[in-house]
Structure 1
C-alpha cells in the first residue's frame, strides 16, 4: 500500500507543496476554495499526516514516561490510571515501566524512556534509590520530572506527596485510643521521605498522648511482604512481643500478620495491626486490615497536570510541591474487644 504524501496531493491538484502545507495548517494567506479542495482531495486519496515527521518538526514526542516500584499494590495502578486520564485528554501517550524495587532497573528504565524520546517523566522511587546523581543531572538539564509518593527532598523538582506525617499520627492515635500500650512501628526504607514522615507521626502521637517512647519501638524494615515477615520473625525470636504494630505500608503489615498467625497469635486479641496505603489485600486478609487510604487517582492526575505544564511552559518552570490528604479505614485487625 502506497503512503500518500503532501507531494502526491500537490501533484494531483497541480499546485505547490507549500500551498498544500498552508491548507493543512490553516494559514491566513490561502483562500477558502483552495483550502477546501486540498482537504477534500486529501480525504479522497486517503492521506494521513506522518506522526514521526510532525513530532520531529515540533521537537516533541507527545509521550510521557511513568516509573513505579511495583504493581502488586493497587495504589500504583490507580495512580497510572489518573496519569493516563489527564495525558490522553491533552494528546499524550503514556509509557509505563516498573523498577521492581531495584535502583539499577529504575535507572535502566529511565534511560530506555529517554531513548524513546519521552517529553517528561513521572517517578516513584524504588526502595533502593539513594543515589540522586543521575536525577540531579536530568533536572539541571531542564528535563521535566515529577516525583510522587516516594520522593527525595534533595531533588529540586515538582513533587506530589501525601500528608504521611498527619495520617501516621492519626493511625497511631487510633491504636492508643483503643487502649494498646506497647506499639511498635515497622519503618520503611531509609532515604525516602515518606518513611521518615510516617515514623515522625508515630513518635509525635506518643508525645501528644504523654506516652513513654523508646527508639526500640521503631524497627527498620522495608516495603515488601518479605520485609514484614522478616521483622515479625525477629520480634518473635527476641520474645519482645508488642500488643500492636503500625507498619510503613500494607505489604509489610500483611507479611508480619502472616508470621504471627502462623505462630499461633490471635489478631487483634494478642496483637493488633494498622497498615498504610489501603491496598486491595487489606480487605482480603483475615482479619481485614485497618489502613490509611491515599487518593491514588488524584495523585496521578496532579502529577500529570504539573508535568504537562512544565513540558508546555514557554518560560522557566518553577517546581512546586502538592500535598494531598486521605482517610483512616478502621477494620477488625485493630479493634480491641472490650
Structure 2
C-alpha cells in the first residue's frame, strides 16, 4: 500500500460533505456554519491533515525523498548515521530531509507530520520524551514506509536497526569490575527508551554475575538526554554527595559521556584514580584525550546504510510487507586509560 496524505476529498467523504464545503470550512469562510466548521476542523486535526499544494503530483509520482528524524545532528553518533543514510540515498537517486527533535515529543510529532507530506518514507529514532506512538501508528496505518533505527520500539511493526545495547553495557561493566571497581554508577537517558532499558539490563547482569550488590542511589537518568551540561552536572553532584560515592561511572549516551568527562576535569577529579569513566561514544578524538577515554562505540554509519537500504526496498516494493527485519549490530569496545586498573 502506497502512502498518501489525507486530502480535502478524503475528509469530505468521511463527513458526508462536499469538497467545497470542507475547503471553505478550513478557510473559516463566513458561508459555512460554525457547527460545520468545528466538525471539519476537529476531524482534520485528528487525521493530521495539512494543506499540501503538491499533493496531486505526489499521487502520480514519488518524490524520491527520504525523511529522517533524530534528536540532534550535532551528536557525532547521529551525524555518522546520516552519512550512512545519504551514501545509500545518493546511490539510489533519493534526496534526504533531516529534522531534529531535540529530545522533545511535541517537536517529534511536528517533524513526523511535516515530513509525511513530502517524503516517500521515513527513518525514525525516537526522542527521549516519546511515550505515545499514536502519531507514528497513524502513518503506518495509511501505508507510510517507516524504518526505526537506534531508538526503536516494540510497540509497532516495522523494520528496525539497532546496536546490541545489552552486550555493550555488559562488557563495559564487566571490564570495570575486572579492573577492581566495585561501586559503579549508571547514568543514562530516560528509561522509557528501549536502548536504555537494554543497557541497564547489561549493567545489572554484569553486577549479578560478579556477585556485586545493586545500589539504587548509583542509578541516574537524564530526562533530556544530557542535551545541556547542567543536567549532567546535577546528576554528578548527586552521586558525589552520597555518603558512599561510586568509584566508577558507566555512561550510556554520547553527550552524557563527554559531559561526565568535562565535569570530572572541571572539578579536578583525577581520572581514573579518583573516578573511572567509561561510556557510549562515537566521537573521533576520545583516544587523544588525556587521559584517553574508554568507550563503547556503535557502528553508526553501518546503521544508517542498512536502515536506508531497508527503507528504499520497502518504498519500491510492489506488494505490502508482511514480515519485517530487525538488524542487530555488535558494538566495538575500546579499553583505555580512563578505566585503568583501580589503585586499591
Whether TM-score is above 0.5 comes out as yes
Q: 1:112 to 1:248 in 2, by over 3 A?
A: same
After superposition, residues 1-338 of structure 1 pair within 5 angstroms as 56=58, 58-115=60-117, 117-222=118-223, 223-224=225-226, 225-280=229-284, 282-283=286-287, 285-317=289-321, 318-336=323-341
Q: Secondary structure at the match of 1:274?
A: strand
Q: Can you give the 5+ residue segments of structure 1 that lack an aligned partner in the other structure?
A: 1-51
- Aligned pair count reads 286
Q: 1:329 to 1:226 in 2, by over 3 A?
A: farther
TM-score normalised per structure 2: 0.78
- Per the TM alignment, residue 56 of structure 1 is displaced from its structure 2 partner at its CA by 4.5
Contact 1:227 1:255 (C-alpha < 8 Å) held by counterparts:
no
Name 1:22's counterpart in structure 2.
none
Deviation readout 1:6-60 (Å, 9 max, x if unpaired): xxxxxxxxxxxxxxxxxxxxxxxxxxxxxxxxxxxxxxxxxxxxxx999647431
Q: Can you give the 5+ residue segments of structure 2 that lack an aligned partner in the other structure?
A: 1-53
Q: 1:177 to 1:192 in 2, by over 3 A?
A: same
Contact 2:77 2:254 (C-alpha < 8 Å) held by counterparts:
no
Deviation readout 1:245-289 (Å, 9 max, x if unpaired): 101123212222333333332110011001103223634544222
Contact 1:275 1:292 (C-alpha < 8 Å) held by counterparts:
yes
Deviation readout 1:213-251 (Å, 9 max, x if unpaired): 233332223421443222101122334321001011232
